Amino acid sequence: MKHLGILLSGRGSNFLAIADAMDRGQIEGADISIVISNRAEAAGIAAARARGLATQVIEARGRKRAEQDAEIVACLREHGVELVCLAGYMRLLSPEFIAAFPNAILNIHPSLLPSFPGLDAQAQALAYGVGISGCTVHFVDEQLDHGVIVLQRAVPVLQGDDEEALSARILEQEHLAYPEAISRVLSGNYAIVDRRYVARASQNAALIEEAK
Ligand code: GRF
């Protein structure tokens, strides 16, 4: 059994989509061993508690990021976490946190990266006037919304969309993308070549071999 740790700060709909997918058997051989929030009032942490999952609130309380992160890493380790999933976790991770879980931290972002990193990605996409947006599940590295992309799903931006309408259309795809990306990563059936995620299908064997 592979153990997942979820980090969230708010609503928690991506966390719930992951938990539901797991309950349906769509993420095989894995469980959620801990849900951590940096905000006590996060709806997501209440939802996790209601599902009977182990939860922990670890707030910044004016501490330095590295201190808070050390506590989070210790908590994840205590629960045997092998894959960390950021699900609306609104704090940057320290380099020490990232180093503690090499290629084992995923994030979901509501745009087709590298377009529109950072806050309010949906509003950024609308303001820019793109015709297509979507979501990206990626490994976390030290730059914001930057690591290796595991999977993306696109949606159209429609005439008359406001931020709410576009966000809802993207969120629907997020809830499909995150469980799928987690399954892919847990399968171990991939390699990272330069900064590309390459599925280990036979036609990619040469590419992976070449990169060794
Ligand atoms: C999602 O749009 C996600 O892409 C972004 O933060 C939002 C979190 O929503 N990183 P939820 O808390 O999972 O409902």
Name the pairing type of β-strands 190-193 and 196-199.
antiparallel
What are the pLDDT digits (tens) for 83-102?
999 999 999 999 999 999 99
Note every long-range contact of 158-167, with CB atoms under 8 Å and residues 24 or more positions apart, other chains counting: 161/126, 162/126, 163/120, 163/122, 163/123, 163/126, 166/122, 166/125, 166/126, 166/133, 167/110, 167/122
Give the residue numbers annotated as catalytic, written as ranges: 109
Quote the pTM value. Answer: 0.95
Domain count, the chain: 1
205 or 126, greater pLDDT: 126
Binding site membership of 87 for ligand 1 (Cβ less than 6 Å): yes
Kindly give the distance from the C-alpha atom of residue 126 to the centroid of ligand 1, in angstroms, as a whole number: 18
Domain of residue 138, residue span:
2-211
Q: What's 82's domain CATH number?
A: 3.40.50.170
Kindly give the distance from the C-alpha atom of residue 42 to the centroid of ligand 1, in angstroms, as a whole number: 12
pLDDT(212) > 70: no
Binding site membership of 175 for ligand 1 (Cβ less than 6 Å): no
Residue 61's pLDDT is 86
What are the pLDDT digits (tens) for 104-115?
999 999 999 999
